[in-house]
Structure 1
Amino acid sequence: MEIKELTALSDDEMAQLVSAWESSVTATHHFLSAEEIATIKQYVPQALRGVQHLVVAINAGQIKALMGIDDTKLELLFVAASERGKGMGSQLLKYGIAKYHVDELAVNEQNPAARGFYEHLGFKVVDRSPLDDQGKPYPILRMKRTPAE
């Protein structure tokens, strides 16, 4: 596995990113309908182009996981379903913590596996919102990380 930062995105890279995103969301966001995922998918390229740092994990020449960071906030982290549980997400997040001092994020409350993943890496829930950033009724947990002493 190779970790790489992307700046200018080719059409092929964008297609791989969207595919990894969709695979991840389908496997983990059971509270979303197929129609909701399809609607959100339309905005994924814009969101990916909008993050300050876009970091990917590449396996066998294909993008299998992606992470977006703005300042010290993790904006997105998605791992293709076929790669879940293999340490790829942990390696990406540890890279983000080491290089960009990632110390905050938001996660869907209805995705308990993600919450557990972030807690395992030192993040704690500090706030809860009953609505997501689009005003939809998907509660969001805001998490912060305190550096190890």
Structure 2
Amino acid sequence: MIKLRPSRPEDGDRVVEIWAAAVDATHDFLTPEDRAAIGREVAAFLPGAPLMLAVDRRDRAVGFMLINDAHMEALFIDPEHRGAGIGRMLIEYALAVHPILTTEVNAQNAQAVGFYEHMGFERTGWSATDGQGRPYPLIHLRFGV
């Protein structure tokens, strides 16, 4: 049974683990140098961010989402739990709070692009670089009218 709850300070190490495992499983397009640099940035920021966690019956995080206003900044699922509906659960929660929701996805992450489009997100634009100016194109997506 998966439940959702807000993150707490003691969840910090676990959410960084989830991020690292998910990125390593899906972001093979990153250079090793960029993967390491992004990892350092995430480890410095993510533990203190206000996340919504998906937790198992032992209250161990298996996925998380970060929403800033009506923009989903992050959605990561532990690779061992992918395909179990956790991403859908987190998105449905986000849409209950923000019926119009935007996000971005790396264009090279075909699985994520397919997931968001399957969930009903529509493409609204494209950027040649990521938010830090690295050469990883982003697809801008929106759900809702």
- Contact persistence 2:100–2:142 (CA under 8 A): no
Bigger mean CA deviation after superposition, 109-118 or 41-50: 41-50
For 1:24-43, what aligned pairs fall within 5 Å after superposition? 24-43=22-41
Q: Does 1:9 align with 2:9?
A: yes
For 1:1-149, what aligned pairs fall within 5 Å after superposition? 1-6=2-7, 8-10=8-10, 13-48=11-46, 51=49, 53-59=50-56, 60-101=58-99, 103-146=101-144
Determine helix, strand or coil for the equivalent of 2:105.
strand
TM-score of the superposition, structure 2-length normalised? 0.90
1-side partners of 2:86 and 2:37: how far apart?
27
CA-atom RMSD in angstroms: 1.7
2-side partners of 1:134 and 1:81: how far apart?
25
In structure 2, the CA distance between the partners of 1:146 and 1:4, relative to structure 1 (3 Å rule), is same
> Identity percentage over the alignment?
34
Give the gaps of 5 or more residues in structure 2.
none
Q: CA deviation at 1:102?
A: 5.0
Dislocated runs of 4+, deviation >4 Å: none
Count of paired positions: 143
Give the gaps of 5 or more residues in structure 1.
none
2-side partners of 1:61 and 1:55: how far apart?
13
In structure 2, the CA distance between the partners of 1:100 and 1:48, relative to structure 1 (3 Å rule), is farther
Please tell me the residue identity of whatever aligns with 2:14.
Q
1-side partners of 2:26 and 2:68: how far apart?
23
- Contact persistence 1:23–1:80 (CA under 8 A): yes
Encode CA deviations 1:58-109: one digit per residue, 9 max, x unaligned. 1243211010000000000000110111111110111111123351001000
- Contact persistence 1:96–1:102 (CA under 8 A): no
Please tell me the residue identity of whatever aligns with 2:126.
R
Please tell me the residue identity of whatever aligns with 1:16.
R
- Contact persistence 1:48–1:68 (CA under 8 A): no
